Structure 1
Amino acid sequence: MTEFHDNSPEAAGLRLSRRGFLSGAAALTVAAALARPNFAFAQDAQFCASLGWTVWESGRHIVAGYEDAVKKLGGTLTIADANYDVKKQADQIAAFVASKPAAIFITPADAAAIAPAVQAAVASGIPIFCGDSYVPNTTVTSTAMSNNFGLGAYGAQYIVDRLKGKGKVALVSLPSNESWDQRTLGAKSVFLRNPDIQVVSEIAFALGGTTTPRQVVDNILTANPDLNAIWCAWDGAASEGTLAIKASGRDVFITGIDGGQQSFEYIQAGSPFALTLAQSFYEMAYMNAFYAHEVIAGRKAPRFVITPSYAVTQESLANIEIPDTYDQPGEAAKIGWNRAL
């Protein structure tokens, strides 16, 4: 049952890095364990999940990953949604610690800000599993997340290649979460090595503020009449930026990070939205729950699992239905997608 409370770019281009291998090995471990008869899982364990958000497609996939894993592997699950409120999430974590569950799952909206709450949770002795972001200055049991630096570098390299090494670029960054900020650092590492790429604007977006991503991109376009491309730290900005570019009639393309139906529809239609790096949110959550069961059973969990990300363009979406389950283990291969990171 589920209860809802509070409602180097070179590395980025590798098909199979060491971390990628570890993630693939982890997925194979899951598959092998589930196929093994009489493989014991904790049927009566109580799990709690404090999620930084459940909105957007990423949130929906995260919730589904936790729910499906607990339904399949056993136990009960209580989910609390912090809705990007740091204090609320810290309070949720403290309340969950007091309830003494078998494990706590955490998707941080602001990992640095909730670090003290996570430190206290770790100190309680309860196994703690993080998804989407690592929490600085803590030693949780396991973290499943994307290669955020690589995601940023990959999108930037795509822009450099498409512009043939010369052009004017703007960035819409998302520094509120340390892991999300790594994407911007990855992008800058690429642009800095290409001196004929001019970064003419960078706007740091604040979630929960009064300015929308659409307004940010409108302002960038107005201030930079010779702009060629916009790199965005997440798909919300890329999607709204697509609308701004179309309204302007400008020949500008835009890239994002996250993946999901809306992004895929824009890309498939040949809009200015040219590339997204689609993350495996479902698999992040599922891996957390799977390894929680492993730890309860006295087995080991990997400290880090780097879940797959896929470079999605109009070409990779040609002649297929928009996929919604690509981030479930094994599903991307069925549509011919190979992990980019």
Structure 2
Amino acid sequence: MKKNTFLIVSLALCLLVTGSVFTATKVKTETLTSGKPLPVPRVIKDRPLQIGWLVEEMSFESYQRVWKHAQIEAEHRGWKITPVLDAKTIDAQRDALEVFIRKNVDAIVINYAQMQTLKDLVIQARNKGIGVYCVDNTLVPGVIVNATQHNGVVGARIFYYGAERIDSKGKVLILNEARPCIYQERCFAVEGLIKKGYPSLDLVGAEGCKEISDYFTKTVDYLTKYGKQLSWIFVYADIEGLQAARAIEQAGFTRDDIFVTGIDGGSQVYAEIRNGSPMVATMSQPFEEYCHAAFEVINQVQIEGIAPGDAGSMVPKGRTLYFQAVLTTPENVPSVGTSIHTVFSDTYYNPKDKDAWYFWGKPYTITE
């Protein structure tokens, strides 16, 4: 009898201890970022947080601006970044994420990549306790937050500028990105406005372009067909818009004949606007503000321990933080040598607030 009693007590103690271990090691999950529960990213207290940084390439000024500010943020916070800055192919992007996962970094930030092809790796990273965040990118399940602009709204905003410039009359060509992404929304909004609300505007084409050279060749095609009858080329982004501007110049036209609008902002397009090229306006994106917001969320989730969906979380239900772009034209194009933050004096920049994040480090400066 004593032996049986001893066995029963021993078994009970074993179950109690085992249950305590299971309880102590239970992983906290969240359901905001995916249809299924995912582990909340690990909280780092006793060492610098480690970030893996991924971007498709660095030839675009927008990516350069984000990366520059990311380094400022990391230095200010005492964090470490391992970058992959030239993942031009889907295979290269997948390889980079796989390396980050094997190295078990604490967080991954994706500035731009083909997100639909990376969905499985995002979930794989999250299941290891790695936070995944995006800057001006397309959301997929598992990404905690994306920081960007209201792309459709921004497209509509610069549309009204262009329409007013030609008294809402004339032929318009839209050149869009062919690959599915949030940037396409800019052109979709404009296409809808022209077709539904502006009968005096003639939309002669809405083309998707796969390569940057396509923006030049398609512009040449339409210039050959319409010549000076074409009034305005609406391009989804600045660098691509500059290809259209070059084609217009080579055909012997000026901005008074045919003009181009883009979206992004930065030294290169500001110089074009300032110097009289066919590129007349852009919507300047606050890329630095996007980047700062992503780092603030990382800090909240993985330093302070406030998970997505918790009380006080910065992460909204839609997982996207939106910020305001600014219309930049010949009338307000910024001067060479000024901080990029001055462009956003109507939205976030206050020159008197010297302790604000936009005074950290050495911000991006507008050049020739």
TM-score by length of 1: 0.78
Partners of 2:127 and 2:185 lie apart in 1 by 27
2:130 to 116, 122, 126: 126
CA contact (8 A) 2:149 2:324 kept: yes
Deviations 1:111-151 (A, max 9, x none): 22323322332333311111111323x14222111221122
Matched, 1:74 2:74: no
Aligned equivalents of 2:102, 2:344: Cα separation in 1: 34
**Cα deviations by residue, 1:196-239 (Å, 9 ceiling, x for unpaired):** 2111022211137xx34322322221122211110001111221
Question: What is the distance in 1 between the residues matched to 2:215 and 2:332?
Answer: 26
The residue that corresponds to 1:298 in the other structure is: 305
- 1:234 equivalent to 2:237? Answer yes
**1:287 maps to what in 2?**
293
Residue 166 in 1 paired to residue 181 in 2?
no
The answer to whether 1:247 aligns with 2:250 is yes
Residue 20 of structure 1: aligned partner:
none
Q: How far apart are 1:306 and its partner, in Å?
A: 1.2
Q: Does residue 101 of structure 1 match 2:117?
A: no
Of 270, 276, 282, the residue aligned with 1:276 is 282
Percent identity at matched positions? 21
Contact between 2:111 and 2:135, CA under 8 Å: does it hold in 1? yes
For the structure 1 residues 327 and 86, does the alpha-carbon distance in structure 2 shift closer, same or farther, using more than 3 Å as the test?
farther
1:253-272 aligned at under 5 Å gives the runs 253-272=259-278
Residue of structure 1 in register with 2:340 after alignment = 325
Q: Show the counterpart of 1:215.
A: 217
Moved more, 147-156 or 257-266: 147-156
Matched residue, 1:339: none
Pairing of 1:297-316 with structure 2 (within 5 A): 297-299=304-306, 300-302=313-315, 303-316=319-332
Q: Distance in 1 between matches of 2:218 and 2:45?
A: 48
- TM-score, normalised to structure 2, is 0.73
- Residues 57, 85 of structure 2: 8 Å contact kept: yes
Question: Separation in 1 of the partners of 2:177 and 2:83?
Answer: 25
Larger radius of gyration: 2
Between the aligned partners of 2:98 and 2:109, the Cα distance in structure 1 is 13
Structure 1 residue 61 displacement after superposition: 0.6
Q: Is the 8 A contact 1:238 1:255 kept in 2?
A: yes
Equivalent residue letter for 1:104? I
Q: Which has the higher contact order (CA 8 A, sep 6+)?
A: 1
Deviation at 1:43, TM superposition (A): 5.4
Contact 2:122-2:142 at 8 Å conserved across structures:
no
1:179 maps onto 2:182 in alignment: yes
Superposed CA RMSD in Å reads 2.4
Contact map agreement 1:213 1:236 (CA 8 A) in 2: no
Which stretch shifts more, 59-68 or 185-194? 185-194
Change (3 A) 1:244 1:255: same
Runs (5+) with no aligned partner, structure 2? 1-43, 307-312, 352-368
Code of the residue aligned with 1:69 in structure 2: it is: E
Query: What one-letter code is carried by the residue in structure 1 that aligns with 2:145?
Result: S
Q: Moved runs in structure 1, 4+ residues, more than 4 A?
A: 40-43, 327-334
Structure-2 change in CA distance of 1:224 and 1:113 (3 Å): farther
Cα shift at 1:175: 2.6
Cα distance in 1 for partners of 2:136, 2:183 equals 9
Distance 1:135 1:116, change over 3 A: farther
Out of 80, 89, 98, the position equivalent to 1:85 is 89
Cα distance in 2 for partners of 1:51, 1:109 equals 6
Residue identity matched to 1:108: Y
Q: For the Cα contact (< 8 Å) 1:54–1:62, is it kept in 2?
A: no
